[in-house]
Structure 1
Amino acid sequence: MLKIDLKPNESVRIGDNIVVTLEEKSGQIARLSFDAPKSVPIKRVQPATPANVAASYGLGMN
């Protein structure tokens, strides 16, 4: 895993055709923009909580 610090308007290139740019940061919120071909799926991933892990296995947490 690569961890990198970016300042607003700095970018990271992934491969030849994907660019991720830090648009702005305020507190713990960061706004990113992704420039990628439409064939590349981009999905938001939720933090791993016990309920999310259980749901991924089809289990309910009561």
Structure 2
Amino acid sequence: MGHPPLEFRDCYLDSPNFRERLKCYEQELERTNKFIKDVIKDGNALISAMRMVFCF
């Protein structure tokens, strides 16, 4: 995940390079968010399955 750093002066200038770097960070955050949601969903499914097994 070696993204180039976001520099304040690039933000201030709003350069095309800054926009591209920012887009990389946004895409990584979207992937991370999806991964976390999937982990939560799978965890809930696992807990439900364990309740079914151990409650009967």
Instruction: Normalising by structure 2, report the TM-score.
Output: 0.26
Report the structure, 1 or 2, having the larger strand content: 1
Rg bigger for which structure?
2
Report the structure, 1 or 2, having the larger helix content: 2
